[in-house]
Structure 1
């Protein structure tokens, strides 16, 4: 009888050890899986070619407002960013919990290093710092390519969707935006409307045509350019109010740069003078003052494009 009891106790102990061993191995496996997930990387293509970046990086420094915009839309937070000229629709990032790096052109490298980033996202204005930033963390070079805000935003959103494993959200957002663009374009083409987009900058005027940074007015929304000879330039072609009267567009889109730089002149009072009042745009109520932060500062982001589309929807009477 005693031998039987000893044998039973031995079996129980063996089983216990086996269970403990299984539990230990299981815990070890879970730990390994977690470690692998944490160290997971992906190869994406940015403006410099293929680059290996971490998946779901925890500490992200963002120097590109367009990418910050997309991340915000996807529910992903940065650890640090330049707060110097944040668009209003990104004002939540003025909060002190985000490290302020200064401006998009003049930022603090020491603060970036102190933030211990897993990923740094830049655009063209920081290109000269690329090699310095690479010494701190992997650098993803996004921003706007060939003045095409819409194509760049779509491409950048897809890349960030991969990195943060939010592809479905990106697809849904892009489908919604594209439907709205097509609705505006259909209405514009139905009316065969011409347009001119002009920047008002403390009394001076410049126009933007096909191939410019605001080419989307024509290529995406279907307006006919009122003057095909406008020079394609980032700073636009200098024009006068007499020019606007002569070209007589159906729609006149006005971007007030002074609203960004802090100039106090009334753009509406300056634009709607006796010369401009003779145009079809004025007579039909088609002088449209676009959101300067989204059009000029925002870059290739989903929220910026949402605002741009809203401006166009308002212009053609969709909303």
Structure 2
């Protein structure tokens, strides 16, 4: 995906695959649906009111230095992940570099990222902040002057880490291409947020699991598999959620019918498990648990293949042949 198209799309979207309602703009800010990630791995959606400045038409002072962390091919055939820092001073760029490498190593230690690492280009954008750390860390009320204004307690939720998305996209645009923006904040506190501009604490290893989940949306087009939120009972287009039971899938040869009964890396088998895509009943997921339901879990087989297809979205002729059944 070329940068101009991506930045235009991301400026108005939070999480691909999640289909949140359009933001409600108010004089004091805007209200939107966001994913919230708890330390134990639980995920839920919440309506969050954010300051208007988080999406203001701000302009960055100057482009930041871009460092290639890993380049595996031209951008028109690879997925470009761009990591932007916030809360790192000029003297802390080595700390930021260490956080980027730790996050990348953690991401590519799990499947299917591990086996398809060569389909990624990874770029580091060195953004210098006047002060070290971020606002509301370690406690609410602490103020930091940072380049992107990242802060905990977004919308009154302690672990929700928000940032100036407009500026993050502007800094990321200095990279050769952009398919996903990740902002790492200079903090060891667990936290993050989902979206086209995903956020995570650079100094907290567990926060990288948020990135694994968010790329499920943006690369694989996957639905959330947890069952709390605003339920839409209609049959979704997402490959890992369905209103069909296992028997109806087989009869119609629909959705993940070819995978039914196959082993799943969460320890069970692929089936049709009730409770998915914000619905407690009437909507099914392929496995008992997966990273699209709980952080720290693996992708289930239908989602894994959707991710692999997404890795090669810009280079379909290079994609490996995979047959299920």
> What is the TM-score normalised by the length of structure 1?
0.26
- Structure with a larger share of its residues in helix: 1
Higher relative contact order, chain-length normalized (CA < 8 Å, sep 6+) = 2
Q: Kindly name which structure, 1 or 2, has the bigger radius of gyration based on alpha carbons.
A: 1
